[in-house]
Structure 1
Amino acid sequence: MAKIIPFKAVRPTPDKVSLVTSRSYDDYGAAELASHLEFNPFSFLHILNPAYVNQQKLGWEKRFKLVEHKYQDFKNEGILIQEESPAFYLYEIHSNRHTFTGILAGTSVEDYQKNIIKKHEDTLQYRVDLFKDYLHETGFNTEPVLITYKDNPALSDWIVNKKKSRPVYEFSTTNKEKHILWSVSDSEEINWLEKQFSEIGTLYIADGHHRSASSELLYEENKASGNVNLNYFMSFLIPDSNVKIYEYNRVINDLNGHSKDDFIKKIAKNFVIKTKKQELWKPRHKFEFGMYLDGEFYALRLKEEQFSFKNVLERLDAQILYDTILHPILGLGDLRTDERIAYVPGTKSITSIKDMVDGGEFKVGFMLYPINIEEIKAIADLNMIMPPKSTYIEPKFRSGLVVYEL
């Protein structure tokens, strides 16, 4: 039984919502970030990066304190307001590629610990610790964990009907997205939603493994305080069929001492290789891989008859690439920390990989076929961990739209 709760959100006033909300802080380059901070005094980026000019001179604790102080300034100035009563939120994102609709709610740390909320990615402890300290010092979180649930006809019907009501927000952004938010504060609707999710049984983390792990760590360290808000973390709950999964492609600095011919010869033991020359080729099916090397594209097709896969993890294209090329031939170790590899989300054009290799910083690039949601769930059900950067998942949430206070 999965437990969800409404919460007293902090959110922008309707007249300023399009000015306050921002993309994730990490999504901005230095010049774009500086421009937003200079010309938009209402941007949530002022909270996330309050000392952007001198941030390299500050320790984490001082920086987090500045974040908390700036957040309080936004509340004191009436830019951000807090709900008087707990609510769920129905949230819809219209991008130029897809439309995503889900429910914002508090999800249970205890469910996470009991594996009712299942995960499929490993975490780096230093990142878990750092974000835990961030939550502790700032006292809020504005980036929900993206969680999927099995498609539910009753919930789908409710969403269709709810969207007929008047939203609290409807606005567009400069990256040509449209955002609509409905508040769900009626006690009967709240009880009905809680019951629906209690009957779903299992939830799956799609994106936000470090955020959920940090919330658990913060809860364990402070549960004696009696702060019930620590028992939950904010999540965006979306049906399986509505999540969009892209691949994460790989670029590697060198060929681990191999010549081009020797490298291709070693790959040919496990793959059928076809030269595509200047054709911008990318995989169309599972067990296919694209490669860009020395100014040419190649199509690699796994020789499946040579392999006897024991489980769904071994059949993942990202795992196959690691087991057949990245580790044994290129000598890569822990993909979470190895500095010889970088990752390019599948939302970017294949030409970006070509440019990175042609520029000389990287020697070879690999393009993968996207994983599907059933593979992710199967791995989570088996308590297995996927290779790092196996998926780039949408939707992405806007910072400052809805804030969960701890």
Structure 2
Amino acid sequence: MAKVIPFKAVKPTRAIVGLVAARPYQSYTVDERESRMDYNPYSFLHIVNPGYKYDQEVTGEERYKLVRNRYLEFKEDGVFVQDKKPSFYVYKIVNRHGQEFNGIIAATSAEDYERDVIKKHEDTIARREETFKTYIQTVGFNAEPVLLTYPDNNVISAIIKQTQKEHAEFEFTMTYRDTHYLWKIDNEATIATIQNEFEQMETIYIADGHHRSASSYLLYKDEKEKNPNHNGNESYNFFMSYLIPESDLVIHEFNRLIKDLNGLTKEEFLIKLDEFYRIENRGILPYNPSKPHHFSMYLDGEFYSLYLRKATYSFDNALDKLDAQLLYKTILKPILGISDLRNDNRIEYVNGQHEMITIKTSVDSGEFTVGFGMCPSNVEQMKQIADEGLKMPPKSTYILPKLRSGITIYEY
């Protein structure tokens, strides 16, 4: 039984929401961040980069306290206003490619995360979990929802469609040409219907935001232990999520770029590949893989296709069938010597929205020696891996939609 509850979101005013909303902090270059803050006093970046005000870099606890101060200033100045009634928020994104995403922003249960009602498919790094837990404990809010997905549901879908017939509270377009819409649901009967539908679901799945959800769970454990009057209804028992149906989720692959051949010559490398793959030279034109367990490779000015020799590889579980895991087990680790996919600086990742020409350009520049392209995984693979309690390698999926910070804020 999945527990979702309405909450009193803190939101920008309609007039400036498009100016406030921002991509995640790390997705900007330093120049991009500074340019946006130079010319936009309402950007959420001013909150998460409080040192900008003093023209200096601020880190650690000092930064977190200043983030809290900037946030309170935005509230005091009327940039942010909190809703008076707990609500669900129907949220729609139409991106520049015409892809449409429809879902509900709600508060989801940390206890469900603990009980595996909210399932995970990706490993997290303990250090990052603790860092973000300390951050949200200090600043007292979370401004970017975790992306969760649930089985398509006719009742919830009908409510979303009916709500979208009304005038949207927000409608704005970002510089990336994504258009965002938000409607508020505060009718108690409708809220109860939505909650009941989620209660019928045995599991829902994290699509994106594993570290944020893990950190929120750590916060819940900390605060629960410290509170002798804990009753399960405190704000720390929940974290903000954007729940969308599985049919709305779009999954792209992450392709791999490698800086060297681990001391091998081109010929030695190809011979080692031959153990697991039937190799065909495809020439100089960009080549894309056409099906699972089939890779494209760009090396020394030419594209190759790699077809798995299935007689030499066994699929023992759902993870073994994942192409990112297959590439790791047959090439990256045994041949190229890359065992730590998170921290080895010899590997970089390119999301599958980019064409294979990006791989070619990166290798031709001399920065990388070889690049690999693969087919994207799908929702069923992601769910099966989570159901078996397994974890995907880092950068196995590039999932849409990508959310913006500062549109709805959950306070602890």
After TM superposition, the score normalised by the length of structure 2 is 0.96
1:277 to 278, 283, 294: 283
Partner secondary structure for residue 127 of structure 1? helix
Cα deviation, residue 85, structure 1:
1.1
1:7-406 matched pairs, under 5 angstroms = 7-52=7-52, 57-97=57-97, 98-223=99-224, 224-225=226-227, 226=230, 228-406=234-412
Aligned partners of 2:318 and 2:388 also within 8 Å:
no
Residue 407 of structure 2 aligns to which amino acid in structure 1? L
Aligned partners of 1:55 and 1:63 also within 8 Å:
no
Aligned partners of 1:12 and 1:80 also within 8 Å:
yes
Partner secondary structure for residue 360 of structure 2? helix
Cα deviation, residue 352, structure 1:
2.1
Partner secondary structure for residue 91 of structure 2? strand
How far apart, in 2, do the equivalents of 1:401 and 1:291 lie?
41
Partner secondary structure for residue 113 of structure 2? helix
Residue 26 of structure 2 aligns to which amino acid in structure 1? D
Cα deviation, residue 307, structure 1:
2.5
Aligned partners of 2:254 and 2:398 also within 8 Å:
yes
How far apart, in 1, do the equivalents of 2:81 and 2:39 lie?
23
Q: After the TM superposition, which of the residue ranges 235-244 and 172-181 deviates more from structure 2?
A: 172-181
Distance change in 2, residues 1:71/1:105 (3 Å) = same
Distance change in 2, residues 1:230/1:191 (3 Å) = same
Distance change in 2, residues 1:55/1:205 (3 Å) = farther
Aligned partners of 2:51 and 2:57 also within 8 Å:
no
Residue 269 of structure 1 aligns to which amino acid in structure 2? E
Aligned partners of 2:276 and 2:313 also within 8 Å:
no
How far apart, in 1, do the equivalents of 2:234 and 2:354 lie?
41
- String of CA shifts for 1:27-65, please: whole Å, max 9, x gaps: 211222111000011111111112148787433111111
After TM superposition, the score normalised by the length of structure 1 is 0.97
Once the two structures are aligned, what percentage of the paired residues are identical?
48
How far apart, in 1, do the equivalents of 2:35 and 2:9 lie?
29
Aligned partners of 2:297 and 2:306 also within 8 Å:
yes
Aligned partners of 1:122 and 1:385 also within 8 Å:
yes
Cα deviation, residue 306, structure 1:
2.7
How far apart, in 2, do the equivalents of 1:315 and 1:272 lie?
18
Aligned partners of 1:93 and 1:100 also within 8 Å:
yes
How far apart, in 1, do the equivalents of 2:218 and 2:37 lie?
32
Cα deviation, residue 384, structure 1:
0.6
Structure 1 gap segments, 5+ residues each:
none
Aligned partners of 2:123 and 2:392 also within 8 Å:
yes
Residue 118 of structure 1 aligns to which amino acid in structure 2? K
Residue 251 of structure 2 aligns to which amino acid in structure 1? I
How far apart, in 2, do the equivalents of 1:292 and 1:55 lie?
44
How far apart, in 2, do the equivalents of 1:365 and 1:53 lie?
42
Q: After the TM superposition, which of the residue ranges 170-179 and 78-87 deviates more from structure 2?
A: 170-179
Aligned partners of 2:294 and 2:307 also within 8 Å:
yes
How far apart, in 2, do the equivalents of 1:63 and 1:353 lie?
37
- String of CA shifts for 1:201-228, please: whole Å, max 9, x gaps: 2100011110011001111111133481
Partner secondary structure for residue 93 of structure 2? strand
- String of CA shifts for 1:78-111, please: whole Å, max 9, x gaps: 0010011111100000002210011000000000
Q: After the TM superposition, which of the residue ranges 304-313 and 89-98 deviates more from structure 2?
A: 304-313
Cα deviation, residue 355, structure 1:
2.1
Partner secondary structure for residue 284 of structure 1? coil
CA RMSD in angstroms, aligned pairs only? 1.4
Partner secondary structure for residue 399 of structure 2? strand
Partner secondary structure for residue 50 of structure 2? coil
Residue 17 of structure 1 aligns to which amino acid in structure 2? V
Q: After the TM superposition, which of the residue ranges 361-370 and 9-18 deviates more from structure 2?
A: 361-370
Partner secondary structure for residue 362 of structure 1? coil
Residue 42 of structure 1 aligns to which amino acid in structure 2? Y
Q: After the TM superposition, which of the residue ranges 115-124 and 172-181 deviates more from structure 2?
A: 172-181
Distance change in 2, residues 1:206/1:56 (3 Å) = farther
